[in-house]
Amino acid sequence: MIDPETKLTPHFTLREMTHSRNHPEVYNVPPIEVVDNLVNLCVWLEHLREDYNRVYNEEGGDYPLTINSGYRSPMLNRAVGGSKDSNHLTGCAADIRCVNGEQCIRYACLLVNMFIKAGKDWDEIILEKRGLRFWLHFAVRPENSKQKNRRKVSMQYISL
């Protein structure tokens, strides 16, 4: 088993990408092949963090990205009501907490621009809102994945 404190990239640990605040009782340790997908995802999150700080952080500090959800085991995915074919199941998705809708839009725009500049494809960028909470669902599958990245961008409002 991999140590949860293992750094996947400079700012993201395995613990951060696997924790569940709402269901800590659910076993949520990824298989080793999923960890490679998490590393790929976190590399893009590092780029997003860097771009956000460069473009929007006027104080020049180091504004972190906060992850609500990364990898989900099948049991955790069922517990949170996730889709049966969720990218979270393969370690290819993260939900990024946003302070408001504007930050959500900024993250989405930065991600799309990053991928276009890199000549790469992402799978999903979904701006989500439930009540007063906003988050950005971001998914990218590895280039060698059987499932191709779809370049999907959408908004989803979840009613209470």
Q: Is the pLDDT of residue 46 over 60?
A: yes
Domain that holds residue 107: 7-158
Specify if 2 maps to a domain: no
Specify if 48 maps to a domain: yes
Residues 103 and 51: beta-carbon distance below 8 Å: no
Q: Identify the helix (H) or strand (E) that includes residue 78.
A: helix 74-79
Specify if 121 maps to a domain: yes
Per-residue pLDDT band for 143 (boundaries 50, 70, 90) equals: confident
The mean pLDDT of 49-73, rounded to a whole number, is 88
Nearest CA among 18, 44, 14 for reference residue 107:
44
Domain count, the chain: 1
Strands 12-13 and 7-9: antiparallel
What are the pLDDT digits (tens) for 85-126? 999 999 999 999 999 999 999 999 999 999 999 999 999 999
pTM (2 decimals)?
0.90
What's the confidence (pLDDT) of residue 160?
53
The mean pLDDT of 32-51, rounded to a whole number, is 94
Q: How far apart are alpha carbons 50 and 48 in whole angstroms?
A: 5
Per-residue pLDDT band for 150 (boundaries 50, 70, 90) equals: very high
Specify if 96 maps to a domain: yes
Specify if 1 maps to a domain: no
